[in-house]
Structure 1
Amino acid sequence: MKLLHVDSSILGAASVSRTLSAGIVEQLARTTPGLEITYRDLAADPVPHLSGTYLAAGAAEPAALDPALQQDLTLGGEVLAEFLAADIVVIGAPMYNFTISSQLKAWIDRLAVAGKTFRYTADGPVGLAGGKRIIVASSRGGVYSAGSPLVAIDHQEPYLRTIFGFFGITDVQFVRAEGVAMGDAQRTRSVAEAWREIDLLQAA
């Protein structure tokens, strides 16, 4: 079984999502003998944002491409191949300004490839990447979950559930720490609750 671990926080060792995503991977490794783990840090080694040149490059002859563009195309292929090969994808996803980080969005944009993760049909889009399990380590400075007056401005978790659903993935789980910017006591409670969820995770 293969696991892809992706982090996207810009806060380094101070990041809650990084701490939780690492804990999730450690827990799954303990319960899954022979688990193969690939790690990608989108803050330390960012995936470039899409460009019109990148999108148009598929119609060009390889020899005519700029070396930098060739490198970008190669990276895009590697990112997609890692995702497609994984049985489990663990994503550290902090909320920035009510949504995901731009680093994580740039990575997702390299996954949304027609004919690879989805296709359009006469009856609408069909996801092609089903059968995977996605576990998101979600951290939020405020409280945005069901029942909160701020739920309508949560464009982080609904977006992730929607895009992976578009790829055909229905097994999407969130391990969430909320209110981590609302004082030390709230942060401690939220992180402890997330760790209790992590302790119950199994790979199967």
Structure 2
Amino acid sequence: MKRTILRVDSGADHAASVTRRLADVLVEHLAGPDDQVVRRAATEGLPLVTGSWVEAAFADGDRTALAHSDELVVELLAADEVVLVAPVYNFGIPAALKAWVDQVLRAGRTFRFGEHGPVGLVPARRAWIVTASGSTRVGSDLDFNTPYLRAVLGFIGVPDVRVIAADAHQVDHESVQRGLDAATLPGVAAVA
């Protein structure tokens, strides 16, 4: 069965990027020969939410303000699986990934308000958070990446969120290899 995997890169693209290396291994392992991998570079000019954007999204503003957002939402809604490449930058996600999140969390498109609160509308059943940090441990008090991204993905309806990490790799030199090993574990390629 052909699947679409959406990979959103948000860190700086450089030869030493640990998160991109982890994501490369993960996506190579996830994608079957018939699968389509859609790559979105959040670092390449995603607009920020502006007053015009808000007027277009929530009132009768100029809909052209949502053109980029609409494109990103279509990509997300077409994905069977999502890979968010999210290095730790100054204790949080890169600004580029926050811009992507702001563009794709759209009432009536990726979530709706139901009788008992928000209901996610994204059909992807699984997502991956690929992260690396110099000294922050996943799950520690300073880990603001994975809880935030889990909340975002859950809010839009993705029930299975997994983490591939090379955390604290500047002090734990084996963490990169553990992350690479986790990206190729049996069961990674099987859709849950």
Shared fold per TM-score greater than 0.5: yes
Secondary structure at the counterpart of residue 164 of structure 2: strand
Structure 1 residues 125 and 194 mapped into 2: Cα distance closer, same or farther (>3 Å)? same
Distance 2:113 2:56 in 1: 21
Decide whether the 8 Å contact of 2:136 with 2:143 is kept in 1.
Answer: no
* Number of the residue aligned with 2:95: 102
Structure 1 residues 61 and 129 mapped into 2: Cα distance closer, same or farther (>3 Å)? closer
* Number of the residue aligned with 2:9: 7
Amino acid at match of 2:162: Q
* Number of the residue aligned with 1:176: 165
Aligned pair partner of 1:127 in 114, 120, 128: 120
- CA offset digits 1:88-116 (Å, max 9, x no partner): 11121001121111100100111110111
Secondary structure at the counterpart of residue 183 of structure 2: helix
Distance 1:75 1:89 in 2: 19
> Where do 5+ consecutive residues of structure 2 fail to align?
none
In angstroms, what is the RMSD of aligned CA positions? 1.6
Structure 1 residues 123 and 142 mapped into 2: Cα distance closer, same or farther (>3 Å)? same
In the alignment of these two chains, the number of paired residues is 185
Are residues 1:52 and 2:36 paired?
no
Decide whether the 8 Å contact of 2:79 with 2:124 is kept in 1.
Answer: no
Distance 2:101 2:30 in 1: 23
Alpha-carbon distance, 1:128 to partner: 1.6
Distance 2:170 2:49 in 1: 32
* Number of the residue aligned with 1:166: 155
The structure where helix makes up a greater share of residues is 1
Amino acid at match of 1:18: R
* Number of the residue aligned with 2:183: 198
Moved over 4 A (4+): none
Alpha-carbon distance, 1:140 to partner: 1.4
Could you tell me the percent identity over the aligned residues? Answer: 36
Distance 1:131 1:54 in 2: 26
Are residues 1:81 and 2:68 paired?
no
* Number of the residue aligned with 2:131: 138
Q: TM-score, normalised by structure 2?
A: 0.89
Secondary structure at the counterpart of residue 84 of structure 1: helix
Alpha-carbon distance, 1:11 to partner: 4.7
Are residues 1:24 and 2:13 paired?
no
Distance 1:175 1:54 in 2: 33
